[in-house]
Amino acid sequence: MSEAATMADWPAVRDVGRQLDLSLPYVNHLIHRQQLSGVRTRLGWLVDPESVRAYEAQRQGTKARNKRARAAS
C-alpha cells in the first residue's frame, strides 16, 4: 500500500466491478486468485486501488496485443 493511500481510499468490490465492467463474482474470483489485492473487513472486501490500476493496465495491454494479432492475420 502506498503511503498516500489509506484504507478509506480502497474501493469496495462493487465499485471495482463497475469501474472494470466486471461482475461481482468475477472480482471476488480475481481477489481469491490474487490477481487483485484485497482485505476482508466487517463490511465486505476492499480492494487495493494500486492492484486495480495494475490489473486494468494489464487488461488494456492484452486487448492491444489481441487487436494487433487479429490485424496481422
pLDDT tens-digit series, residues 4-15:
568 889 999 999
Residue 40 maps to a domain: yes
Task: Answer yes or no: pTM beyond 0.85.
Answer: no
Largest CA distance in the chain: 50
Number of domains observed in the structure of the chain: 1
In angstroms, the CA 38 to CA 2 distance is 14
Residue 3 maps to a domain: no
Give me the domain span that covers residue 20: 11-72
What cell does 67 get? Answer: 487487436
Taking only the tens place, the pLDDT of each residue in 30-59 is: 999 999 999 999 989 999 999 999 999 999
